[in-house]
Homo-oligomer: A and B are copies of this chain.
Amino acid sequence: MNLAAADEARQPSPTDVPVPAVDAAPHEQDVPWRHRHLLDVDVLSADDLELVMRTADAMREVLDRPIPRVPALRGSNVTILFYEASTRTRVSFEVAAKNLSADVVNIAAATSSVAKGESLVDTIRTVEALGARMLVMRHSVSGAPYLAAEVFGGSVLNGGDGWHAHPTQALLDLYTMQRQLPGGTVAGRKVVILGDVLHSRVARSNIWSLTAAGADLWLCGPSTLLRGFDAWAVHGAAAGRRFQVTSSIEEALRDADVVMALRIQRERMASGLLPSLREYAARFGLTRERLALAREDAIVLHPGPMNEGVEIAPDVAVSAQSRITDQVTNGVAIRMALLYLLAGVRDGG
């Protein structure tokens, strides 16, 4: 694995979270983690977030070894049940689980007989009876993993549900920012999420984790694709979830520390909410010229896969400011950390 990336060294953490020794099994560790499932990031406290980040640090160290493997989850069955086609998230979880010595079962429900009229609840019960102890699930219906968690006897990890949430993506985004930003924190930093916020589970989960971590968060895109977020911004302020909403890309990008371009999903074009791809690229594409409005050392993120030339220009994607490839490797580390932490709860509980 190419981990020789030019990541800046992590700063010591302000809080004092005990980090598990990840070569050992999680139930042998005294770790202050209490969540059995990972359904979204909204329920994670600042200490929870810090523990995930520190455990991911330990997993990055494992990834740097010649054989990137620890025996922590040896013999545990991790089942990956995806109702939507996916490559990177599915493989990322698979590699993460194998690096922890777990056994992985892949079920591509979209193309399998699961699709033939069986209820979700029956499928979840069956998967558990087949031996699954941890269930990674992606579903096109928002909330499906919450239903699964009510039925499943083990731990459910949400790998993306509808437009609702994609918590491991938000956590790997936060981790990537913290590794890159001077001081090792997003607190007070201007972070811009740019694009089709309306249809984006990535954006929704990032709103929770970035506001919890104290970022100066901005959402930017065509007004049709920000619908409802203005109201949330006002309401959220009261709940301590403060963010700005704008359709002015200049206002958003000015002096930004982090710019995250979202993927434009071509299938959304039919909704009538989106201008043409050409028009979108012209008005909201992240070009080198626009990026110049941000801070000189601003970093660029994208959850992938990219439509180069639409939401992001090819030269920006591969520029020195891009951390898009780091996100992918950090995603493996974050998913290792979460599988590890959740397994500890279950083993101990």
- Which residues of A are at the interface with B, using a C-beta cutoff of 8 A? 1-2, 63, 66-69, 74-77, 79, 85-88, 91-92, 94-95, 98-99, 103, 105, 107, 109, 111-114, 116-119, 122-123, 125-133, 153, 266, 304-308, 317, 325-326, 328-329, 331-332
Contact = CB atoms under 8 A, between A and B. Distances in A.
Contact of A95 (B77, B125, B308, B328): B77
5 contacts: A63-B131, A87-B109, A87-B113, A94-B105, A129-B326
A129 B75 contact: no
A129 B306 contact: no
Contact of A91 (B74, B105, B133): B105
Contacts of A109: 87
Which of A94, A118, A129 neighbours the largest number of chain B CB atoms within 10 Å of its CB? A129
Contacts of A317: 122
Given A87-B113, A131-B332, A133-B1, A122 B63 contact: no
Nearest to A90: B112
Contacts of A305: 113-114, 116-118, 122-123, 126
How many of these chains are in the complex?
Answer: 3
Given A125-B325, A304-B122, A75 B85 contact: no
B131 A112 contact: no
Closest 5 A/B residue pairs (Cβ): A67-B75, A129-B328, A118-B305, A2-B153, A85-B113
Nearest to A327: B129
A126 B112 CA distance: 25
A130 B332 contact: yes
A98 B131 CA distance: 11
B130 A92 contact: yes
Centre residue among A1, A307, A331, A332 by max chain B CB count within 10 A:
A1
Contacts of A133: 1
A128 B77 contact: no
Contacts of A74: 67
A194 to B, nearest CB: 18
A245 to B, nearest CB: 28
Contacts of A85: 111-113
Given A67-B75, A68-B75, A111-B85, A325 B129 contact: yes
A79 B328 CA distance: 15
Which of A2, A127, A131, A304 gathers the greatest number of chain B CB atoms within 10 Å?
A: A131
